[in-house]
Structure 1
Amino acid sequence: MNHLDLELAWHSLAYRLGQKPSAEANFKVKPEDFFVDEVMGFEPDGEGEHLWLQIRKKDANTADVITRLSGLLKASPKVIGHSGLKDRWAVTQQWISVQLPGQDAPDLRGEIAPGVEVIAQQRHSKKLRPGTHKANRFEIRLRQVSDMAAAEEALRTVAQRGAPNYFGSQRFGHGGKNLLQAQALFAGKRIKSRNQKSMALSAARSLLFNRVASKRIESGVQPLAGECFMLSGTRSYFTADQIDDTIVDRLTSGDIQYSVPLWGKGELSSSSDAQLIEQEVVAEFAEFADGLVAQGLKQERRPLMIHPQQFSWQQQGDDLLLSFQLPTGCYATAVLREVVRFQE
């Protein structure tokens, strides 16, 4: 693959609304234009050997924060946990855990590095693991929106119909470098860094998901024989050999939702017409599909669509201020690309 990496993985993906938005806007002009806060869904239990720290950071990487905490607490990075990496060019809030067995917890509240502060801390019995948090809450400013009426009409449509659950461009690295790393890995190159290898595998898997999802969006998202449906809000799924009124009613009510494969070894959970589409698209990227199988990843499913919760917006001069919540692992930019054209 070459300069077309991001074109295939992100820029050329189909739009739920049928075409690119007519409105343009400036995105992430300042870090304050993109705020994200982890919604854990539970509170630390107040006891145990893990110190949980709620971090508020601006223009800083999660990895840099972990390095700083490692030095401050004289703790190996291996005993430090997080639920997800957060954007650098943004203002973000997230929890990070540090295992401190048999030690009193120092009060770290306040600034621990430029742009990084601890705003709360609490003991907990378990280490924080990736994907632990329930959702992410976003507050986003789109600046100098060129066509406010068109943007607001698109927002109303997304609020009603949802948006494709694409993996965002940051998943693929600058210029698609993570996809190039995956290509090298599958060709036999050894990647010593566990983190880099993980990012390469995730990028390859995300490319295949995005392309299959794009094909389904392009085709109009109609239920097909052999469709693999997920129970909304869960990871459980089932295959419908035929589409009947009961399936249509459950789709309409939101009880179930369409799904797309996260590629790996094992049989596809879909069958018949739905499986045929998935196989045809993935066959175009055989080196990535075969590479993921060879690396031992297993077949999983991910919802085709996302439906922003607590969704609201308001006009402020030429700007639009958006607020919404998405499940863990979903990308705000997948929502935004349905509303305005922007550069990241």
Structure 2
Amino acid sequence: MADRGPSREDAPASFARPYAAGRIPVWLDCDPGHDDAFAIILAAYHPRLHLLGISTVAGNQSVEKVTRNALDVLHFAGVPGVGVVAGQAGPLMRAAAICPEIHGETGLDGPHGGPALPHSRRAPLPGKAPVVMAEAISAFLGEHPDAGPVRLICTGALTNAALLLALYPELKGGLAITLMGGAIGVGNMGPVTEFNIQVDPEAAKMVFEAGVPLQMVPIEVTHTALATPEVLGRLLSSHAGISKFKALVGQLLTFFAATYREVFKFEAAPLHDPCAVALVAAPSIFEVEEMRVDIETISPLSAGQTVCDVWHQTGRPKNCAVARAMDVDAFWDILIAALDRAEAASPLR
């Protein structure tokens, strides 16, 4: 299907979206990644959220690839006026780790190999991610002092977030962080470690000890967001039949489901990352518990573990609101509504 016109795609990827009073300002820090693609769409199209911008971090693939993927998702979903800045290419103190066995060589592979989405002509914003993030967040809070705090939603390694907090401690009073990551019990990249935290545990430790309001959506919750055949039917339905937009959504989920089946023996793929966006947009669909969470950085067996003091045994002050359960049907309702809005705006509809 032909592109509807060059106007949106040729527009500079800058911070140009008008703010509607009452919306929650969010910045998305991500590593797209199939599930990150859905997090971007939900952040852009949920009516309670105002997406300020996107930063990327190495994780699901290299930072160069995930930055290109973020730009491609914005084009695919018809989102103008949201800039993307490339972030850290690796952890603070460790070698970079990527995840091609789950997300493919591009980070957004389709079922036949290669990228599932058409490439955007947009370029990322110049500059270093922590600097661009700080400038954009400070400018927004300066223009809208009653709109804060800005919610930093992290769906990858916490490297950019740690640097932002270390370099700009004056922003802490205007920030709150919601992250997808960690595990209360069993991990997915080690016996007790989850990928996003395991990739850069030193950065995670800095974030968890920074003293900013913090929410965590662990894999015990995100593993309930399974794109079952019934859910796929709802996701891909369209009043006018299967559009090109919905067909590409289907390709993303087909690849993701196949790799999860092969690697983890899941019967359906879990959409981890949009769960963190959903917690900000619709907190009432979650059960959340305040507890102490510390990050293990030393043990060769468990570096990257989120040590969750569920029973408050350590006596250490609580520093994190941890999601314990989610209304899965309500989650799919809000994600499908966002996809429908994206389909209506997409140049590929």
Q: TM-score when scaled to structure 1?
A: 0.28
Higher helix share: 2
Higher strand share: 1
Q: TM-score when scaled to structure 2?
A: 0.28
